[in-house]
Structure 1
Amino acid sequence: MVGQGVHFLEAAGPAGMRIYAIGDVHGRLDLLEEMHARIEAELANEPPRDWRVIHLGDYVDRGPDSKGVLDRLIEATSRDQRMIALAGNHEAGFLDFLAYPTPDGLFANNGGENTALSYGVSLGFYDPGELARGHALLKRAVPESHISFLRNLGTSVAFGDFFFCHAGVRPGVTLERQDPRDLLWIRGEFLNHPGLYSKVIVHGHTPHAEPEVLANRVNVDTFACRSGILTALVIEGADKRLLSVSDKDQWLSATTP
């Protein structure tokens, strides 16, 4: 403990529990399946007393198989409650578009056409007639199970000295009183804040070429949809390490400093 907050180097997860926190997937079902396979192998080879796998949001858009990612997550979270999926801003954008299609929202301008294609629908955003036609087809193509899953995603979860969310938290507000919109969208105020929080914040949302491991937060968004690398933070007691899978058919792992 340092001052009024927790420093990453001294932070620990609950005794006996191993936690995997996975960054933004963005339609890369291939990488998510490989990450799950790696985690399953670790759990089988060195089983902990308890475990959690936390997905930090942004499952849809940009990559080629958003539908497949949601199918996989629905199956995994239904099968085992220790598999946790949190909401990202792109899930919110997808729901917003399904409810009210616009050509200038998050979905239209940030890879939503690839999400629609994964459901077999081609969208045209800038012709009103094409937008209405495509929207109607997409609403019919998206299963109700997907809508229910997206609507019921939580925005945060905490274990031990760690707080998990998609985007980050607002400095000066207790973790218990964070605005759900900040948990999905915040950037500047959070990313530039040097102070410690009551827990270390583990998040995605802001892509980096490499994971960011700082005193007060860990960012595991390594831009999987473009880099071909999906990253997770692994926490077991006071031990922390990074685990990455690559589309180069090779598992990668590294230990944090």
Structure 2
Amino acid sequence: MTETGIHYLDACGPDGMRLYAIGDVHGRHDLLAAMHRCIASELEYVPASDWRIIHLGDYVDRGPDSRSVIDFLIAARARDPRNLMLAGNHDIGFLDFLDSPDPDGLFMSYGGIQTAASYGVKLSTGSSWFGRPDEALARGHAALVEAVPQAHVDFLRSLTFSATFGDFFFCHAGIRPGVPLDRQNQQDLIWIRDAFHDHPGLFSKVIVHGHTPVPKAEVMANRVNVDTLAWKAGTLSALAVNGGDKRILTVQGKAL
């Protein structure tokens, strides 16, 4: 695999198809909308016969407007199905919380309170007894279940875990080295870090991912990381691919 893999410098998108892969949004509707305006301007100024905009997951939590992010993505996909949305661990964590309010789970521990606030619901961090929510959290959970539109739940449930175009494989977190791309575990696709980041060899495709924040987009021989901590730093990044031409796009907003 390491000897027959593809190097970033040699990787190409499909003939005639422009690709854009957008990193973790985390509730920054302002940055997501700005990135889409940037891409739309490019496609208008230099038209492409075909295109895909691939969103790499983590649409919710931490930032201030997760609800508007999901509304935006639902509308974008309805407008043109070439807008593709992949699942991130926080998106699955939101679904998990709606199903069962774990006071110590991902949602409550890492920015879910901000997500709930975007739906007009105040969640107490509460306390737990053998992993069960206290009364305040149970009430907040019930209010959130009521406040989240079914269309948002359906959207989150519809998210796929990977996509492949040309010499590129897109997912949220990364892949398990040594496992064929079509046999990757969903948990790895949304959670993996060290085993993937530390792998020195090439893969059968260049892996484009987010999940692990970096100060600026990280371009390696075998992978590209476009998670630039949008929710806090105010920088949202994307990889743009046009044949063999590859570049990083960024939009800048207010840091939180």
Q: What are the equivalent positions in structure 2 for 1:1-257 lying under 5 Å apart?
A: 3-127=3-127, 128-247=134-253
Pairwise CA distance, 1:59 = 0.2
Task: Supply the distance in 2 between the matched residues of 1:246 and 1:177 (Cα, whole angstroms).
Answer: 37
Tell me the CA shift for residue 152 of structure 1: 1.0
Aligned-residue CA RMSD (Å) = 1.3
In the TM superposition, what whole-angstrom CA distance separates every residue of 1:37-63 from its partner, at most 9, and x where no partner exists?
Answer: 011111011101110000000000000
Give identity over the alignment, percent. 62
Larger mean CA deviation between 31-40 and 119-128 belongs to 119-128
Q: Identify if the C-alpha distance between structure 1 residues 45 and 98 changes in structure 2 by more than 3 Å, giving closer, same or farther.
A: same
Kindly indicate whether the alpha-carbon contact (under 8 Å) linking 2:2 and 2:201 is maintained by their aligned counterparts in 1. no
The structural deviation recorded for 1:17 is 0.8
Kindly indicate whether the alpha-carbon contact (under 8 Å) linking 2:2 and 2:203 is maintained by their aligned counterparts in 1.
no
Distance 1:93 1:187 in 2: 17
Q: Extract unaligned runs of 5+ from structure 1.
A: 249-257
How far does residue 3 in structure 1 lie from its aligned partner after superposition? 2.2
User: Could you tell me which amino acid in structure 1 is paired with residue 5 of structure 2?
Assistant: G
Shift of 1:2: 7.7
Q: Aligned equivalents of 2:82 and 2:97: distance in 1? A: 30
Gaps of 5+ in 2: 128-133
CA-CA distance at 1:20 after TM superposition? 0.5
Relative to the length of structure 2, the TM-score reads: 0.95
* CA-to-aligned-CA distance 1:218-241 (integer Å, 9 cap, x gap): 000000001100000000000000
State the shift of 1:87 in Å.
0.4
C-alpha distance after superposition, 1:38-92 (max 9, x if no partner): 1111101110111000000000000000000000000101111110000000001
Count of matched residue pairs: 249
Report what 1:253 is aligned to. none
Q: Which residue of 2 aligns with 1:255?
A: none
Alpha-carbon distance between aligned partners in 1 of 2:195 and 2:2, rounded to the nearest angstrom:
21
**For 1:2 and 1:104, how far apart are their aligned partners in 2?**
40
Tell whether the 8 Å contact from 1:102 to 1:125 is kept in structure 2 after alignment. no
2-structure distance, mates of 1:6, 1:81: 28
Stretches of 4+ moved more than 2 A in 1? none
Please name the residue that 2:131 is paired with: none
